[in-house]
Amino acid sequence: MRSLALDRDAAINISIIVFSIALVAFQVLNINTGITRGWSAEEVAYRLPIDTWRSYNEILNMAPIQTKAVTSATVYTIGDVIAQRTEGVEIGDLDRGRIGRSLVAGLIGHGPLSHVWYQVSEDFFNSVLQWTDWWSFVPKVVVDQTLWGPFWNNTYIFLLGVMQFQKPTQIWSDIKRTTIPLVISGLKLWPLAHCVTYGLVPVENRLLWVDLVEIVWVTILATQAAGASDSEPPTFSDDVDIQGTGTTEPP
């Protein structure tokens, strides 16, 4: 019975992944529908990324917050799938609830909040401090790592806890447990990445660049947030917290 359940879950998970990839591919490949007739394969391959980028920026200009919300939701979904696979979880055992929570955290949290942060940060340094020289990216990176980074990490943990109906004490415990490790992990990646973010990338495209880098970072974040942080392995007399959801069952 368990084998049948795993096969069914694997089929469901694979179907969702294939459908999502096919949907994205369909949208991208139909950007130039109607004008590519008679084009060679080389012309299509050349124009496709250019026109995709142009279309993305047009949508971004029309609906910046919504576009960034969907972008971050996509990245957090991919990141959590990667995180679970990195933890050794088979396709059939992927926790769809956990993936859904990461999607929602990116949709209602990271996308909109990042939009506000990058706009406020840019206005503060350019208009208030009037630091517009080439070196101004350095204090921007420092402020990002000391204010925005820890704020978002803890917001992410908070959102996951709320969606899991955890008690406030449990959420606070998770925040305290993960704050320092996440800051340390972030220092391995973000200072260098943000030299590009604040030094080269226009403010309206910073979230897209950051989201591409976050495919790596959100894997670390999701793994840290998933629980399973006990320093000693459980014995047969212990209850095991399943993926940090607060539900327990014997190992």
**pLDDT, the chain, mean:** 79
Rounded mean pLDDT, 89-107: 89
Which of the two residues, 25 and 67, has the higher pLDDT score?
A: 67
Task: Name the DSSP class of 240.
Answer: E
Residues 15-25, buried b or exposed e (16+ Cβ, 10 A)? eeeeeeeeeee
Rounded mean pLDDT, 132-139: 94
* Cβ contacts of 97 within 8 Å, gap of 6 or more: 245
Helix-then-strand count for the chain, H and E = 10, 2
Most trustworthy range by pLDDT among 23-37, 76-90, 196-210, 222-236: 196-210
Rounded mean pLDDT, 72-78: 88
Q: Long-range pairs for 174-177 at CB < 8 Å and ≥24 separation?
A: 174/225, 174/227, 174/244, 177/229
pLDDT band with cut points at 50, 70 and 90 for residue 64: very high
Most trustworthy range by pLDDT among 38-47, 104-113, 207-216: 104-113
* pLDDT on residue 233: 36
pLDDT, tens digit, for every residue of 175-191? 999 999 888 888 888 99
The pair of three-digit structure tokens given for residue 42, joined into one six-digit string: 């080389």
Please state the φ and ψ torsions of residue 216, each to the nearest 5 degrees: -80, -50
CB 223 within 8 A of CB 83: yes
228/211 Cα distance (integer angstroms): 26
CB 194 within 8 A of CB 144: yes
pLDDT band with cut points at 50, 70 and 90 for residue 225: low
Rounded mean pLDDT, 227-248: 34
Residue 21: pLDDT above 50? yes
**In which region does residue 227 sit, left (phi positive, over 0), alpha (psi from -120 to 50) or beta (all else)?**
left
Rounded mean pLDDT, 17-27: 63
